[in-house]
């Protein structure tokens, strides 16, 4: 079975704290009739700080869609090589060993995709397959893992690289004053993450990580306008329906179905890595899956430390699981990303510990 190796994650150097966010909201929207509600919603996110690619003053200035697209490309090229290099190191591979790059981002657009730049810049083979995904939003982290899983299952002698590049701060729109938009201004952050999926015949048995065993997708019917972008001359305008926080009631059965199909119990897994769009998502998933809240600690820590970093959330939460080093060999777990559609991208599998790690713990 393919193995998802330890991710590499990086957040930018410019930090905005919760206190600073609330002060900005108070100052910039002092006459907003729903300001008390907005402030309460932002506080309730549990986000302590977020990281941005530019200083806050620059982030708050809208310099046009063209300029923002240029910044996206410049910042991606500045930050991707280190993260991709560390992800390759974590897997014990080089760029030449990779046969597919899955690149996900919903916060900027380039054509050709950044996959072409990576191939030309970092030593990937010219025959490396490219799979850029731009429109799955926060679910794209799970989708990228699943497409890499599918590829390495079909081509077990191959390896795939997953890259998530999210600069949510480039989507700030000063003229959007709806409650959903103002809430998003206090929720989203920037991050870059990457991870390698090693094929079964490409040395997967020598890589610690999560053995990917079964994946699935699910779309909640008639909810495609609940999370969306309005694409205007000024760029991407985030739209968030007030019903979104309650979507776990509709998605939890799909999660349970996947685990049931694998003949496991969704309430009794050893680890859970899920997209932390907000605290309600984690609270409800705990309720509907009958799982102790502590089982979502890594996702909640990502939310607290970095905010909602879109498709990069699941990779960061997974990296925290690696850092904790608490999983025994063959521990059962799942990864799930949720996003526009309303869409869920899910995978279940077992933990693979290196042979020397297993002998040390026995």
Residue 126 lies in a domain: yes
Q: Please tell me the distance from the alpha carbon of residue 172 to that of residue 152, in angstroms, as a whole number.
A: 37
pLDDT in tens, 75-88: 999 999 999 999 99
**pLDDT score at 205:** 65
Does residue 357 have a pLDDT over 60?
A: no
Domain that holds residue 254: 207-354
Query: DSSP assignment of 70-110, as one string?
Result: HHHHHHHHHHHHHHHHHHHHHHT--GGG--EEEEE-SS---
Say if residues 103 and 131 touch (Cβ distance below 8 Å): yes
Task: Using the 3D structure, point to which of 187, 205, 223 is the last residue of a domain.
Answer: 205
Same domain, 157 and 88: yes
Same domain, 28 and 100: yes
**pLDDT score at 150:** 98
Same domain, 68 and 193: yes
Residue 199 lies in a domain: yes
Catalytic entry in 106, 138, 165, 207: 138
CATH (domain of 30): 3.40.47.10
Ramachandran bin of 301, using left for φ above 0, alpha for ψ from -120 to 50, beta for the remaining angles: alpha
Same domain, 233 and 307: yes
Does residue 201 have a pLDDT over 70?
A: no
Length of the chain: 362
Mean pLDDT of the 156-175 span: 95
Residue 81 lies in a domain: yes
At residue 45, the 3 state secondary structure works out as coil
Task: Using the 3D structure, point to which of 205, 234, 264 is the last residue of a domain.
Answer: 205
pLDDT in tens, 219-232: 999 999 998 888 99
- Contact partners, residue 328, CB within 8 Å, separation at least 6: 270, 351, 353, 361
The DSSP call for residue 188 is B
Flag the least confident range among 31-35, 150-154, 302-306.
31-35
Same domain, 201 and 218: no
Residue 359 lies in a domain: no
Higher pLDDT, 152 or 200: 152
Mean pLDDT, all residues of the chain? 93
Residue 61 lies in a domain: yes
Mean pLDDT of the 101-124 span: 96
At residue 11, the 3 state secondary structure works out as coil
Same domain, 214 and 347: yes
* Whether residue 138 lies in the annotated active site: yes
Choose among 159, 207, 209: nearest CA to 321.
Answer: 209
Same domain, 13 and 126: yes
Same domain, 153 and 279: no
Residue 212 tokens, joined: 């990917």
The alpha carbon of residue 111 and the mean position of all alpha carbons in its chain are separated, in whole angstroms, by 22
Same domain, 328 and 184: no
pLDDT in tens, 255-311: 999 999 999 999 999 999 999 788 898 999 999 999 999 999 999 999 999 999 999
Same domain, 183 and 213: no
Does residue 362 have a pLDDT over 60?
A: no
Query: DSSP assignment of 307-356, as one string?
Result: -B-GGGHHHHHHHHHHHHT-PPTT-EEEEEEEETTTEEEEEEEEEE--HH
Residue 287, CB-side half-sphere exposure with 13 Å CA sphere: 12
Flag the least confident range among 191-205, 262-276, 312-326.
191-205
The percentage of residues in the chain with a pLDDT greater than 90, rounded to a whole number, is 80
**pLDDT score at 207:** 79
How does 258-271 read in b/e, with b if 16+ C-beta sit within 10 Å? bbeebebebeebeb
Our count of domains for the chain comes to: 2
Task: Give the CA distances from residue 90 to residues 4, 35, 94, 289, in Å, rounded to whole numbers and listed in that order.
Answer: 10, 45, 10, 32
Residue 41 lies in a domain: yes
Same domain, 56 and 176: yes
Task: Using the 3D structure, point to which of 161, 190, 205 is the last residue of a domain.
Answer: 205
**pLDDT score at 276:** 78
């Amino acid at each position: 079975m393919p193995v998802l190796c330890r991710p590499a994650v990086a957040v930018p150097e410019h930090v905005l704290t919760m206190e600073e966010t609330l002060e900005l909201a108070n100052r910039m929207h002092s006459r907003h009739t729903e300001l008390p509600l907005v402030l309460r919603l932002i506080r309730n996110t549990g986000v302590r700080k977020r990281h941005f690619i530019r200083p806050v003053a620059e982030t708050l200035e809208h310099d046009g869609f063209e300029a923002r697209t240029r910044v996206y490309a410049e910042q991606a090229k500045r930050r991707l090589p280190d993260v991709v290099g560390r992800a390759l190191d974590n897997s014990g591979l080089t760029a030449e060993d990779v046969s597919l790059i899955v690149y996900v981002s919903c916060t900027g657009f380039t054509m050709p995709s950044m996959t072409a730049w990576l191939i030309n810049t970092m030593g990937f083979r010219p025959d490396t397959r490219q799979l850029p995904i731009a429109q799955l939003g926060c679910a794209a982290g799970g989708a990228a893992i699943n497409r890499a899983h599918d590829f390495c299952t079909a081509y077990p002698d191959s390896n795939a690289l997953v890259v998530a590049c999210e600069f949510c701060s480039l989507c700030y729109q000063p003229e959007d004053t709806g409650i959903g938009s103002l809430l998003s201004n206090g929720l989203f952050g920037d991050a870059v993450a990457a991870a390698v999926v090693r094929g079964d015949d490409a040395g997967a048995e020598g890589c610690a990580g999560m053995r990917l065993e079964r994946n699935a997708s699910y779309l909640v019917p008639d909810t495609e306008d609940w999370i969306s972008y309005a694409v205007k001359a000024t760029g991407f305008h985030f739209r968030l329906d007030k019903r979104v926080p309650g979507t776990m009631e509709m998605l939890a059965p799909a999660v349970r179905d996947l685990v049931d199909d694998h003949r496991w119990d969704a309430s009794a897994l050893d680890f859970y890595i899920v997209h932390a769009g907000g605290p309600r998502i984690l609270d409800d998933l705990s309720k509907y899956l009958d799982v102790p809240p502590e089982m979502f600690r890594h996702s909640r820590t990502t939310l607290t430390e970095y905010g909602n970093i879109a498709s990069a959330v699941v990779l960061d939460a997974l990296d925290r699981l690696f850092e904790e080093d608490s999983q025994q060999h063959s521990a059962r777990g799942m990864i799930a990303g949720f996003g526009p559609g309303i869409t869920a991208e899910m995978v279940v599998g077992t933990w693979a510990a290196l042979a020397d790690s297993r002998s040390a713990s026995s």
